[in-house]
Amino acid sequence: MVHSFKRILREGDHGNVRVGEGLHHYLIRKPHLEPQYLEVERKPHPHETLKGAENKGDCNMGTSANAIASDRSASVHKGVDYANYFCTYAFLYHQKEMLSDRVRMDAYFNAIFENKHHFSGKTVLDVGTGSGILAIWSAQAGARKVYAVEATNMSEHARALVKANNLQHVVEVIEGSMEEVTLPEKVDVIISEWMGYFLLRESMFDSVIHARDCWLKPTGVMYPSHARMWMAPIRTGMGDHKMGDYHSAMDDWHNFVDETNTYYGVDMSILTKPFSEEQRKYYLQTSSWNNLHPHQVIGTAAIIKEIDCLTATVTDIEKVRSKFSLSVTTENTKFCGFGGWFDVHFRGRSEDPAKHEIELTTAPSVDFGTHWGQQVFLLHPPVHVSEGDDLKVSFLMSRLKENHRLMEVELGCEIQQRSGKLLAPLKNKFYIE
């Protein structure tokens, strides 16, 4: 998968690009890149050290965690990363999608304005300011100075927005990648909306870690301060649908092989196996975006990862490994797969806590769905389970070698029925693309 990222994948089924099966797949599989975003030349901001290799992801003040991030940022080809990832954020319609997510907006708004003591008279760094919204709120909450760093030329819109709201004396918008920006001072608060699908997709938290290690004062506060990943067993009709799509794709292939042989005299059947593998991966092994109804969750949910944003290192988040148990709480039902989601919290730090802790959750909800929705990992075929059955799950999520912003997941599951009978263990590999 290339190109799509949040612009497409984080939109859910609201907004002007629908994440329905057809369009979603089309956009992912037939990326068209805006040429102007492929070769970007921009003038360095006074705070940005563009050329010097000595500053490539290294603030010269970092910890060992920072050194790891530096290595990685050096190994990722910047042009490719820009084309695959950043360019989508340069579109206002994509920023608008995020700005229209009421759950997300309310959480950040309340976190800032119900904890003005963290902002009043303080210096703030907004990592990935996008339209500038979090920087503007920080200034409105009384910040003395806000550095608003944005990698794309969305920074120009952010600067205009800041000026139109008369905050240009407080908010300084800096176009540049966080890893390459030099600030004139350390800050009291780092605020950022860095969360991708299932929390860690996009790997943007690496840049926040880097910013924290370089620019946060020892007494500083992270917004958000904590994050968690969750998983639960679910039932859904999506699996049948995906299997139908896979079979249609194969029927279509067989017709294609016949016709190519008949009309053009070439036997393509040697490619049937790799085509089938490609389609299986696409339809059956790629996790899906969904806004699950809470009734679709058929058992207990487990926390599979907890992150303290003040102390986490890139090594801590590069791989997520977890073993956990779930109990089925629904009588006679189909166990069709797992739903994964996340929450983040705004708690301040223990020596300087939030006055009002705020939670932003992307758990299944009827009234409070988010553009992140949940990631669904489907089992083919589903398994019949009942209340009291136990699931022992092993989970490993790693970054793709060819694109560190995408993930692969290995999921194993042993089902022990209430009677004590053990079912054949399940083992699956998935891709979060």
Catalytic (active-site) positions: 193, 202
Decide: is 433 part of the binding site for ligand SAM (CB under 6 A).
Answer: no
Instruction: Return the number of the residue (338 or 342) whose C-beta is nearest ligand SAM.
Output: 342
The phi and psi torsions of 413 (rounded to 5 degrees) equal -150, 130
Give the pairing type, strands 187-192 and 302-308: unpaired
- Number of residues counted as binding ligand SAM (CB under 6 A): 21
> Which residues, other chains included, contact 194 with Cβ-Cβ below 8 Å and sequence gap of 6+?
127, 128, 202, 204, 205, 207, 208
Q: Give the total residue count for the chain.
A: 433
Q: Smallest distance, Å, CB 78 to ligand SAM?
A: 11
Q: Smallest distance, Å, CB 277 to ligand SAM?
A: 33
**Looking at the DSSP assignment, which residues form a beta bridge with residue 353?**
348
Give the pairing type, strands 123-127 and 145-150: parallel
Instruction: Return the number of the residue (179 or 188) whose C-beta is nearest ligand SAM.
Output: 179
Between residue 125 and residue 154, which ones bind ligand SAM under the rule CB under 6 A? Answer: 128-131, 133-134, 149-152, 154
- Which of these segments, 16-24, 124-132, 253-261, 400-408, binds ligand SAM (CB under 6 A)? 124-132
Instruction: Return the number of the residue (138 or 296) whose C-beta is nearest ligand SAM.
Output: 138
Q: For residue 336, give the 3-state DSSP assignment.
A: strand
Query: Cis peptide leading into 364, omega within 30 of 0?
Result: no
Q: Smallest distance, Å, CB 316 to ligand SAM?
A: 18
Instruction: Return the number of the residue (99 or 103) whose C-beta is nearest ligand SAM.
Output: 99
Instruction: Return the number of the residue (207 or 291) whose C-beta is nearest ligand SAM.
Output: 207
Decide: is 84 part of the binding site for ligand SAM (CB under 6 A).
Answer: no
Rounded CA-CA distance 18/24 in Å is 7
Rounded CA-CA distance 98/264 in Å is 49
Helix H or strand E encompassing 222: strand 216-223
Decide: is 66 part of the binding site for ligand SAM (CB under 6 A).
Answer: no
Decide: is 15 part of the binding site for ligand SAM (CB under 6 A).
Answer: no
Between residue 160 and residue 219, which ones bind ligand SAM under the rule CB under 6 A? Answer: 177-179, 193, 204, 207
Q: 60's torsion region: left (phi>0), alpha (psi -120 to 50) or beta? A: left
Decide: is 362 part of the binding site for ligand SAM (CB under 6 A).
Answer: no
Q: Smallest distance, Å, CB 30 to ligand SAM?
A: 23
- Please report, in angstroms and rounded to a whole number, the separation of the first and last CA atoms in the chain: 6
**Looking at the DSSP assignment, which residues form a beta bridge with residue 390?**
327, 416
Rounded CA-CA distance 213/65 in Å is 8
Q: Smallest distance, Å, CB 267 to ligand SAM?
A: 48
Q: Smallest distance, Å, CB 88 to ligand SAM?
A: 8
Residues that bind ligand SAM (CB under 6 A): 86, 89, 98-99, 128-131, 133-134, 149-152, 154, 177-179, 193, 204, 207
